[in-house]
A and B are shown apart, each in its own frame.
Chain A
C-alpha cells in the first residue's frame, strides 16, 4: 500500500511505541540480583579490566533475542509450545524440570537481593521479604498483562540509578577507555571464571521463553518486525549500559581501595565512605528494584511455560479458578524461595551455585532447540535463519557451550 511507504516520522514513532516492551523488559530483568552481584564483584576485584567482556555479551544477547522475537512474531507460538510440538514430551519434560529447579534457586537469589538492599535502609529481612513477596503475589494475581507491562517498563527506567551512582564515584575515564580498547586479558582460572560468569549471567535460559511469549502477548505482526528489532536492540544496549556503570561504580571505588565484597548489597554498603551516602542508597535502590522486578517475572514466567508445555490453562489475565495449576506453580515458587531466605543461616551460596550450574546445562539445550526450530521451513516459512545468522548463532552456541561447560564443571574442582 502507498500509505506504508510514505509514513511520516511521527507515524513511525507511534508504531514503535506500540511495539516497544518485550525486548527492553527482558533486557532489564537480565540485570537481576544475580547479575548485579556478578558485575559488582567483577568491578571490585578487577576494576575496569573486565569491561571488554560486555562487547561479546552484547552480541550474544542480541543474536539470541532477535531469534526469539522473530519466532514469536512468525509462529505466534511460545517457545515452550514449539519445543513440545516438535521434540515431544521427553525433551520438554527435562527442560522444564531443570527450569523449575533453577528458577526456584534464581528467585531465592532475587529475594536475597530484596533483603540485602533494604537492609541498607535499615529494614529487617523478616519484614522486607514477606511484605515484598505478598505485594508481588497480589500484583500478579489481581493484575493484567497491560498494567504489568507498564510497571515493568517504569522499573527498567529506575535501573539507570546505577548511572548516577557510577558518576558520583568520579571514575577516571581515560583508564576506562584504555581498559576497553586494550584489554588486559589474564589466563588464570579465577579470571576466566569471572568472564564466564559475566557472559553467563547476561543470558539465562528462562529469558528466551519470556522474550518469545512477551512478543506474542503484544501481538506484534511481521510488518512491524523492524520496530520489534529496535526494541530488542535497545533492550540489549540498556542491559549492557547498566552493567557497564555497575562495574564502573565498583571499579572506581572498591577496587582502588582493595575492598573485597561477596554480593551486591555488600557493594552498596561499601560504596558509602567513597561515593557518599546518596550514591550508596541509589545503588541499593537499584538493587531493590531489580530484585523485585525479577522476583515477579521469574516465577510468573516459569509457571507460564510449564503450563503452556503441558496443556494447563495459564495466563495472568485468567482467574485462579480458571487456571489452578498456573497459580499453584506461581505461588509455590514464591513461597519456597521466601522460606529459604527466612531460614537462619540458609545455604545461599550453594543455592546460587547450583542454580547457575543447572542454568549452564539448560542453556545449550534450549539454544540448540531454538536453532533447529528457527531453521525449520514448515515453522518459519520464509523467515528461516539466513546463513549469516546461522553462522553467528552456532558460533555463539559453541562458545557458550565451552564457557558453560567450564563454568558448570569448575565448582567441582574448587
Chain B
C-alpha cells in the first residue's frame, strides 16, 4: 500500500472528482472526531455548485500524481457536522499548548497521514516553513537554498483549546495538562487571552486550580477570581494556604474579597481574616498557619507514626515545633534529630530550648535578616504570650524578596 502523508494546506482547495472524473466540488475543510486519542478525519467540507456540503470522508481516496494531490470520491454521502472538529476553522491559525515546550504556540499547518484505518492528524506545524507554505512561497524559498527548519509537534504533545460558544470541548484530552508543572501551566494560561485562559483554568480540578493560581502573577490572579463563579472561586481558595489567600484577596476590591470569604468554609475563612488584619510590613501578614507541632511529652515513635499518617509537605517537615499543654512554644527539633533518636525518648529530652523564633508583630525585613543570618529553613512565629501562631518557610522568604 502506498504510504501518504501531507499537509492540510496542500489539499485544501483541491478539486474532488467523482468515479467518472466529473468535478464534484472543492475541498474546503476536514472534520475530525474528537473522542479518540488520535483524531480521525470523518467528514470533508466541500464547496459544490449547490453550496457547502459535508460528505463522508471514507468514500474519498487521496492520490499523489506529479506532486499534486487528487481526491477521488467513490460515492457522495452527505452527513451533518455534529460534534466533529473542523481542522481549518477551529485548529488552523489558532493558539494551542505545546506540552513539551510548555508554551503557547500558533498552528501554521496540520500534518495528516493516511493509514489503513483512515486519515489521521499526526502533528501540527508551528514553524516558519509552515507559514511560507501557506503563503505559497515555501518551494521557491527552498530552491533559493534557504533552509528553514520545520517545527512539527506530535499531536500527542499538543493541547488544543476551543474557546467561546463553540460547544466542542475536548474534555478527555485535558488530562495532558496534568503532566505540566503548575508554574508552567500558570504561565501558559496567562499567555492566552482572558476568556480562553478561563476555559483552561476551569477545566482543572480544585486542588490543581489552587496550585496553578498560587503560581500566577498578582494581576492574573485577580482577573481569574473576578471572572470565576463565586462558589468555584471559594472552593479553590479553600485548597490554598491561608497566607496566599490573604495576599490575593488584598488585591481584590473589599466587596469582592468579602463575598469570597463568606462563601468559603468558616474555618478556612477565619484563618484568612486573621492574616488580613496584619499590616503588610509585619510578619503576621505573610506567615502561614501550616506547621508541624507536637506536645513535649510525646515520644519520638508516636511522632514518627503521626507524620507517616499526615504526610506533610516537604517544606514543612524540616522542623518539628514543640509546645506545652497551653500551646506555648517551648522547643524545636530538626528532622535529623528526630530520625536518629531512640523511638521511646520524649520530645522534651531531645528538643532545642534555645532556638530562633519571632513575633507576629515583628517586621518582615528583620525576619529576612534572621533567616539568612542563621540559614534557617523555616522560622516559628509566636504572639506576645508565646503562643505558636504561625510559620514562615524559606520559600516564602524568597518570594518576599523577589516581590520588589
Contact = CB atoms under 8 A, between A and B. Distances in A.
Interface residues of A, number: 21
A93 B223 contact: no
Interface string A311-329: 1010000000000000000
Contact of B93 (A89, A216, A221): A89
Nearest to B94: A85
A76 B195 contact: yes
Nearest to A15: B253
B354 interface: no
Interface of B: 92-95, 103, 105-106, 108, 126, 131, 134-135, 164-166, 191, 193-196, 219, 223, 226-227, 255
Contacts of A311: 95, 105-106, 108, 126
A77 interface: yes
A379 B195 CA distance: 12
A378 B126 contact: no
**Top 3 A-B residue pairs of the complex, sorted by shortest distance between their CB atoms:** A311-B106, A76-B193, A89-B134
Nearest to A221: B226
Contacts of B135: 89-90, 93
Contacts of B219: 219
A75 interface: yes
A88 interface: yes
B166 A378 contact: yes
B94 A90 contact: no
Interface of A: 3, 75-78, 81, 84-85, 88-90, 93, 216, 219, 221, 310-311, 313, 378-379, 381
B224 to A, nearest CB: 11
A75 B106 contact: no
22 contacts: A75-B195, A76-B194, A76-B195, A77-B193, A78-B193, A81-B95, A88-B93, A88-B134, A89-B108, A89-B134, A89-B135, A90-B135, A216-B193, A219-B194, A219-B219, A219-B223, A221-B227, A311-B126, A313-B103, A378-B165, A379-B164, A381-B165
Given A88-B92, A378-B165, 15 more contacts: A3-B255, A75-B195, A76-B194, A76-B196, A77-B195, A78-B193, A84-B93, A89-B134, A89-B135, A90-B134, A90-B135, A93-B135, A219-B219, A311-B95, A381-B164
Nearest to B137: A93
A61 B37 CA distance: 50
A90 B9 CA distance: 12
A313 B106 CA distance: 10
Nearest to B127: A311
Nearest to B192: A76
Nearest to B126: A311
Query: Mostly helix, strand, loop or mixed at chain A's interface?
Result: helix
A176 B190 CA distance: 51
Nearest to A318: B191
A75 B164 CA distance: 9
Contacts of A88: 92-93, 134
Contacts of B106: 84, 310-311
Contacts of A93: 131, 135
Given A219-B223, A311-B106, A313-B103, A85 B194 contact: no
A77 B163 CA distance: 11
Contacts of A85: 93-94
A127 to B, nearest CB: 35
A4 B79 CA distance: 49
Contacts of B195: 75-77
A16 to B, nearest CB: 14
A379 B196 CA distance: 13
Most A Cβ at <10 Å: residue of B131, B194, B227: B194
B223 A81 contact: no
Contacts of A89: 93, 108, 131, 134-135
A216 B219 CA distance: 13
A106 B166 CA distance: 40
A89 B107 CA distance: 11
Contacts of A76: 193-196
